Chain A
Amino acid sequence: QKEVEQNSGPLSVPEGAIASLNCTYSDRGSQSFFWYRQYSGKSPELIMSIYSNGDKEDGRFTAQLNKASQYVSLLIRDSQPSDSATYLCAVNGGSNYKLTFGKGTLLTVNP
């Protein structure tokens, strides 16, 4: 059974701070890693994808991947109240590109 684990939170940070979200996965054959943002009652919205070890930056977001440790993280710099949402880690390692999701980490950014 392929598993993706995340701290459920809530993670609370002040506006302007760095939020750090973590994820581990069980399947060493996983090849693609994604961070989605989900507002309450809404669908997942893709923020970042990462495929190779190291860091990938996109604006205020940085994804980090360490395949040896089976670990993925997302850093959000200069956090804004609008970043308050549940962040879902998703992994794709099999055929058909299906995604296995973690339960998500609830982030609250306080003004």
Chain B
Amino acid sequence: EPEVTQTPSHQVTQMGQEVILRCVPISNHLYFYWYRQILGQKVEFLVSFYNNEISEKSEIFDDQFSVERPDGSNFTLKIRSTKLEDSAMYFCASNPSTDTQYFGPGTRLTVL
């Protein structure tokens, strides 16, 4: 069964450094998302991506964040200058233009 994959599973970085989190959505899906979950808190929507552009973003998704779909398979989230409060699990999800979203296993980002 196809699944969403994410790399790396765990990323440790120093404050102020740039990180890129990578996702491979399910191949025939059309909508792509990034969510984050700070430890002990709820899963929060960051951004949705459709037809090669951002379709919606939350207040969290400020200028330090960007997303790209550099080729036909990868979907990336870049954080330009990481802060301590960016430490969280980041989940990629995709859907085939239905309501059902399929989540990847997540990347744990630790900012020191």
Give residues in A with beta carbon < 8 Å to B.
Answer: 31-32, 34, 41-46, 49, 51, 88, 90, 92, 94-104
The 0/1 profile, CB within 8 Å of A marked 1, for residues 24-49 of chain B is 00000001010100000111110010
Cα distance A51–B31 when bound, in Å?
20
Closest residue of chain A to B48, judged by CB? Answer: A96
CB distance from A103 to the nearest CB of B (A): 4
Chain B residues near A88: list those with CB within 8 A. Answer: 42-43
How many interface contacts (CB-CB < 8 Å) are there between A and B? 59
A96 touches B44 (CB 8 A): no
Interface of B is mostly: strand
Which of B12-20, B63-71, B76-84, B93-101 sits within the interface?
B93-101
A98 touches B45 (CB 8 A): yes
Chain B residues near A43: list those with CB within 8 A. Answer: 89, 91, 103-106
B41 touches A98 (CB 8 A): no
B41 touches A92 (CB 8 A): no
Cα distance A43–B5 when bound, in Å?
11
Cα distance A56–B100 when bound, in Å?
16
Cα distance A96–B102 when bound, in Å?
14
Picked from A49, A96, A98, the residue with its CB within 8 Å of the CB of B100 is A49
Chain B residues near A104: list those with CB within 8 A. Answer: 42
Cα distance A51–B98 when bound, in Å?
12
Chain A residues near B35: list those with CB within 8 A. Answer: 99
Chain B residues near A45: list those with CB within 8 A. Answer: 103
What would be 16 A-B contacts, judged by CB atoms less than 8 Å apart? A34-B100, A41-B89, A46-B101, A49-B100, A90-B43, A96-B55, A97-B31, A97-B95, A97-B101, A98-B33, A98-B48, A98-B56, A99-B43, A99-B45, A99-B101, A101-B43
A43-B105, A45-B103 as given contacts; A96 in contact with B42, CB under 8 Å: no
